[in-house]
Amino acid sequence: MYSFKIDFADPRDDAAARLRFGARNPRATLVARTLAEVRPVLDAVEDAARAGAWVVGQLRYEAAPAFDAALRTHAADGPLAWFAVFDAPEPWDDALAPGDATVQWDEALARPAFDAAIARIRSAIAAGECYQVNYTAPLSGRLQGDALALFDALRRAQPGGYAAYLDMGDEATLSVSPELFFDWRAGADGAGDILTRPMKGTAARGATLDEDAASAAQLRASPKERAENVMIVDLLRNDLSRIAQPHSVRVPRLFHTQALPTVWQMTSDVVARTRAGTRLADVFGALFPCGSVTGAPKRSAMQQIHALESAPRGVYCGAVGVVRPGGAGGVAATFNVPIRTVALRGAQVTCGIGSGITAGSQAADEWREWAAKRVFVERASEPFDLLETLALDGGVLRHRAEHLARMTAAAAHFGRPWDAARVQSCLHALCAAHGAGLWRVRLLLDAQGAPRAEAFVLQPTAQPVVLALATRPFADAHGEFTRHKTTRRAHYAAFAPPPGVFDTLLYNTAGEITESTFGNVAALLDGHWITPPLACGLLPGVGRAALLREGRVQEGVLRLQDVARVERWAFVNSLRGWLDATLAMP
C-alpha cells in the first residue's frame, strides 16, 4: 500500500501554518523510467493539479539529462520520476509510529580518498574547468524496525524545513530537508511568482551560547562561505532568467543564516516572475538539478561529479515535492532539495552527505563539515531517552530544580515534548514511595515526552576514589550526546575503567582534560581548584555548577602537560557530591 506524509514549511511566510497532510492509495501513479518520459510525466502532473488533484512525488538526480543532454550523470537505479495523484489530501496524523527504528551504518568514505577528491577538484578549479563542485558520498546501512518510526526520529533530529515520507512500494524516501528548491505559484496562463532559496555555506553549532553566536557571525563574515553562496546565487539568477519575464529576477535576501540543530546554514532568496505559457516541465528544465547541489558552471561541475562519484545519487540531490491546485485553474508547486534524506529499499538504507568545494576549500575543514552534517542521521539512528540522575535523601530530591532545568534544555534541543506538570507528578509519586533512606533516582523522558522514574539504593562511596587517565583522546568531547545527558552512552562505554578504578579521566583531541565518564572533575593546580570549562567538551554537571556558584572552584583549562603538576584531584557530580580522588597514570 502506497502511503505519504508531507510536512512543509510555508516558504513565503515563517508565521504561516505548515502544509501538513497524509495520503494513501492514489488513484493514479505517473512514472518515468526513461529520459524521454520525464517531461511528459511532469506535464501530466501539472494537468492533474490544474484539474483539482493533489500530486506528491520525486525526481532522481539522474533525471537531469532529460532537460539538458550535456548534464552528465550515472545511470539511474530506479524510476527517474515517480508521482502519485490524489483527489484530496487526508488530515495530518500527529500520532507517532509505534515501535522503534535502529540503523547500523557502515563506515563512511575513507579519509585518504576524501582528501584525494578535494585535491582533484581544486586542481580542476585552478585549471579553469569550473569554480565550484558539490562533492558527495553515500552512507549505507541496514534498518531494524519500522520506516515510519525512522521518519519520525529524523523529523525530531531535523525539525522544520520540508519533510516528506514517500512509500512507493519498492522503495521509500524519508526526507527532512531544510532546503527549498522552488515554490512556484502560477495562474491559468503559466505566469506567476517563483521563489528559490539555495543553501550554501555551513558552520557547526557552538557548544555554548557565546560559541554558537560567534559561529554564526563567522559564517556570515567568511569570505570563502560568502563567495560559495554568491556563486550559486548567480547560477540560480541565470537559470531563472530562462523562464522569467524580462527584468523580473531579483535577490531580495542575501546571506541569511539559518539555525539548524547541528549546523548553521547560509541561504539566499532568488525570485522571478514566470512568463505566460510556462509549464512545470519548463521550471524543471531551467533549474534542475538545483545549483546548490551541483556547483558552477553546472555542466562542467556535473562532469566533475560524474568522474569523482562512482554511483548514482538517486533521489538525493534530486527533488521531492507537492503539486496542488492554485485556484482559478492555477497551480502551486513546492519542491525541496532532498539533502538530509534517507532512501530505503527493503532494509537497505542510504544517505548522502556532501559540500561545495571551491578554490579556498581545505580538506580538513570540509571533513569536519561532513561530520557536522551527518549528525542528524546519527541522532535518529538509535532510540534514546533523556536522562537525569538525582539523589533522593529522606524524601527530598537534591538539586531538583537544576536537574529539571537541564532536562528541559535537552528536550528543546532534541525536539521532544515537555510537560512540566507531568514530570513533576512522576517525581512526586516516586518520592512518596521512597520517603526514607538514600536513593539513586533515574528520571527518563522518551521520544513522546513520557517521563518515568526509577529508584535504586545508593551506597556510600569510599574515598579517595581512583581515576585513570584515558589512553587516547575522547573524540566525542564536543558531540551533542556529551553536552546533553541521555541513555546513549556507547561513546563513554568505550572508555570504561579497568578493574579497581572508579572512573576514567578523559581528554579531547586538543589535549585538554574534559571530565570522567559519569562525572565532572576538579584539580588543585597552583593553589587553585579548577574545573574544565564547557568549551573543552563536557556535560554541564549540576554538581559542578553548584561548586562554581559557591566559589569553591573556578573554570580553567587543564592540559595533559599540566597533569603532573596537579596537587590534588576530585570527582564531582550531583549524585555523590565531592569525592577526593587520586590519579593512576597509564
**Separation between Cα atoms, residue 79 and residue 448, nearest integer Å:** 36
* Complete DSSP assignment for 64-99: GGGT-TTS--PPPSS-SEEEEEESSPBPP--PPPSS
- Would you tell me how many other CB atoms lie within 10 Å of the CB of residue 114? 17
Phi, psi of 425 (to 5 degrees): -65, -40
Output the nine-digit C-alpha cell for 377: 542521521
**SS3 state at 526:** coil
- CA within 13 Å, CB half, 274: 30
**Separation between Cα atoms, residue 468 and residue 582, nearest integer Å:** 9
Query: What is the 3-class SS of 163-213, one letter each residue?
Result: EEEEECCCCEEEEEECCEEEEEEECCCCCEEEEECCEEEEEECCCCHHHHH
Query: Strands of 465-469's sheet, edge to edge?
Result: 513-516, 503-507, 465-469, 577-584, 568-573, 520-525, 528-531, 554-555
Output the nine-digit C-alpha cell for 107: 563506515
Give the largest Cα separation in the chain, rounded.
82
For 55, the enclosing helix (H) or strand (E) is strand 54-59
Active-site residue flag, 179: yes
**Separation between Cα atoms, residue 194 and residue 180, nearest integer Å:** 12
- Given the residues 37, 179, 369, 388, the one annotated as active site: 179
- Given the residues 5, 200, 298, 373, the one annotated as active site: 200
Query: What is the 3-class SS of 3-25, one letter each residue?
Result: EEEEEECCCCCCCCCCEEEEEEC
- E-only strand ranges, 301-449: 319-327, 330-336, 341-345, 348-357, 386-393, 396-397, 438-445
**Separation between Cα atoms, residue 156 and residue 445, nearest integer Å:** 14
The region that residue 210 occupies, defined by phi over 0 for left and psi between -120 and 50 for alpha, beta otherwise, is alpha
Centroid of chain to Cα 165: 16
Beta strand 503-507 with 465-469: parallel, antiparallel or unpaired? parallel
Beta strand 386-393 with 438-445: parallel, antiparallel or unpaired? antiparallel
**Separation between Cα atoms, residue 264 and residue 266, nearest integer Å:** 7
ω before 297 within 30° of 0 (cis)? yes
Q: What is the DSSP letter of 563?
A: G
- Write out the catalytic residue numbers: 179, 200
